Chain A
Amino acid sequence: MTEKTVLNATHRALGARMVDFGGWDMPISYGSQIEEHHAVRRDAGMFDVSHMTVIDLHGARTREFLRHLLANSIDKLKVVGKALYSCMLNEQGGVIDDLIVYYLGEEYFRLVVNAGTRAKDLAWIEQQAAAFDVQVKERPEFAMIAVQGPNARAKVLGLLHEVDRPRIEKLGKFAAAAAQGPHGIPLFVARTGYTGEDGFEIIVPAEHAVALWEALAAAGVAPAGLGARDTLRLEAGMNLYGQDMDESVLPWEANLGWTIALDEGREFIGRSALERQKAAGVPRVMVGLVLDEKGVLRHGQKVLTANGAGEILSGSFAPTLNKAVAFARIPAGEPGDVRVDIRGREVPVRLVKYPFVRDGKPCAGI
């Protein structure tokens, strides 16, 4: 049974092409996927991300529980409202999911996890939480709209209650706060995103989501589908769970080392496996590829290097760059000349440091 967000009829009325995404009937685009991509890079676009799962954690030992559950250090969150990106690992160090955790109170944290992993995430979190007496509560009554782009914040701020504007305007990156939206709608506004642009991700009670969407549209925010979201996050160098990493991959092999906090004395799940692999040497690395010739890099294509074959994880035409880029996992070591097998043809590609695009512009060397 395909699930629908509360904005489903709104997408259909806009003429969206709908696809199944992790069991959800979601808009892939409303017309031109490339135009939607540019709208986010140049102005402001909005995405229905209500399929994502919001989970609230309550209990006196919640912080202690998160020290155990997450590979990043929850103790980096010192101020209420701050957010942190982290992986949640299994005992073997494989990635169960990536998520954002918000610090909302000494005994209250909020997780936002992926849609496609909802059931296994909830089962895992509940299993681990029992020993800490932490209450795990899914919040399906919320919808979520991501508003992204250089003009996204200004357009959202214009819709907020006057008394909230200065405070939300000053909200730092990776921080969240409550605010009142149009018609007094209670909002949870986070300065986070998945596009490489500034903006907000807004959690809103489902019954008010359509009104918020319409107010944003009236403010000149362009609807954008999951297609544009995918090319935006790829250009921005952000991993997609299930494509760039999963339970068979350790974070070291997915360029997620920056999210691993090996702080002294913290025994988080998967830590010993991570340390073992680091000591033994990480066998595979994740790299960025650029195709300067015509053609498109795609998931699953074989990557040929001096040390053996690897494969493309996320690959696509990148609208901001007007050429194809990809993430690939290849054997560690000096790779030599790298080629990709496109329909039996070996095409040379360039190995680059990513992100490919930042703040609307191609990065140096791309």
Chain B
Amino acid sequence: MSEIPGDLKFLKSHEWARAEDDGLVRVGISDHAQDQLGDLVYVELPEVGSAVKAGVGAAVVESVKAASDIYSPVSGEVVEVNELLNDKPEIINEDAFGEGWIFLVRPSDRAELDELLDANDYEELVENEDH
């Protein structure tokens, strides 16, 4: 499984958030999450311009096995979605922390980022889950 990038913050429910240089927050799911879900076959993306709320479902990913809600790590407005996932949801399986990002948020309260787990805490959470 790929290394967890140190600049990411996490929800316990395995979504990651990356604060970009332009102030926007990019959101995806962790490599551990994609591995647990198995082959992804469909991603229901949020609409650009829609409002998302921290800890509330904003997207859905479906693997062969199951559907999973994707919670937004921060509140704000969706400014872009990863359209590539419409035709190739498996990008998330291949590169969960990079090309497999899901949506981009203009956060309304950047302080919410501080409430997320950092990479070390998240790694620990995943390790404990595996035992």
Interface residues in chain A, defined as those with a beta carbon under 8 Å from any beta carbon in chain B? 17, 28-29, 32-34, 227, 231, 294-296, 298, 316-317, 319, 343
Is A33's CB under 8 angstroms from B64's CB?
yes
Give the residue of B41, B60, B65, B67 whose beta carbon is less than 8 angstroms from that of A28. Answer: B65
Is B64's CB under 8 angstroms from A34's CB?
yes
Is B60's CB under 8 angstroms from A319's CB?
no
* Docked complex Cα distance between A317 and B37 (Å): 14
Enumerate chain B residues within 8 angstroms of A227, measured Cβ to Cβ.
38, 64-65
Enumerate chain A residues within 8 angstroms of B66, measured Cβ to Cβ.
298
Which residues in window 42-67 of B have CB below 8 A to A? 42, 44, 60, 62, 64-67
Give the residue of B44, B60, B62, B86 whose beta carbon is less than 8 angstroms from that of A317. Answer: B62
Is A316's CB under 8 angstroms from B42's CB?
no
10 A-B pairs in the complex with CB atoms less than 8 angstroms apart: A33-B38, A33-B65, A34-B41, A227-B65, A296-B62, A298-B67, A316-B64, A317-B41, A343-B60, A343-B67
* Docked complex Cα distance between A29 and B93 (Å): 15
Enumerate chain A residues within 8 angstroms of B67, measured Cβ to Cβ.
296, 298, 343
* Docked complex Cα distance between A231 and B86 (Å): 22
Of the candidates A29, A296, A343, the one having the most CB atoms from chain B within 10 angstroms of its own CB is A296
Known contacts A231-B64, A296-B42, A317-B41, then 15 further A-B pairs from the complex at CB < 8 Å, ordered by chain A residue: A17-B38, A32-B38, A32-B39, A33-B38, A33-B65, A34-B64, A227-B65, A294-B86, A295-B42, A296-B41, A296-B62, A298-B66, A298-B67, A317-B64, A343-B60
Enumerate chain A residues within 8 angstroms of B44, measured Cβ to Cβ.
295, 343
Interface residues in chain B, defined as those with a beta carbon under 8 Å from any beta carbon in chain A? 38-39, 41-42, 44, 60, 62, 64-67, 86
Distance in angstroms from A38 CB to nearest chain B CB is: 11
* Docked complex Cα distance between A227 and B65 (Å): 7
Enumerate chain B residues within 8 angstroms of A317, measured Cβ to Cβ.
41-42, 62, 64
Those 3 A-B pairs whose CB atoms lie nearest each other, nearest first: A317-B41, A34-B39, A296-B62
Is A29's CB under 8 angstroms from B42's CB?
no
* Docked complex Cα distance between A317 and B38 (Å): 13
Specify the chain B residue showing the minimal Cβ separation from A319: B64
* Docked complex Cα distance between A34 and B66 (Å): 14
Distance in angstroms from B48 CB to nearest chain A CB is: 18
Distance in angstroms from A31 CB to nearest chain B CB is: 9
* Docked complex Cα distance between A316 and B86 (Å): 18
* Docked complex Cα distance between A317 and B89 (Å): 13
* Docked complex Cα distance between A343 and B69 (Å): 11
Is A294's CB under 8 angstroms from B42's CB?
yes
Enumerate chain A residues within 8 angstroms of B62, measured Cβ to Cβ.
295-296, 317
* Docked complex Cα distance between A343 and B57 (Å): 12
* Docked complex Cα distance between A231 and B39 (Å): 13
Distance in angstroms from B1 CB to nearest chain A CB is: 11
* Docked complex Cα distance between A227 and B86 (Å): 23
* Docked complex Cα distance between A298 and B42 (Å): 13
Enumerate chain A residues within 8 angstroms of B65, measured Cβ to Cβ.
28, 33, 227
* Docked complex Cα distance between A29 and B36 (Å): 11
* Docked complex Cα distance between A55 and B62 (Å): 39
* Docked complex Cα distance between A298 and B86 (Å): 19
Enumerate chain B residues within 8 angstroms of A316, measured Cβ to Cβ.
64
Distance in angstroms from B68 CB to nearest chain A CB is: 11
Distance in angstroms from B54 CB to nearest chain A CB is: 21
Is B60's CB under 8 angstroms from A29's CB?
no
Enumerate chain B residues within 8 angstroms of A34, measured Cβ to Cβ.
39, 41, 64
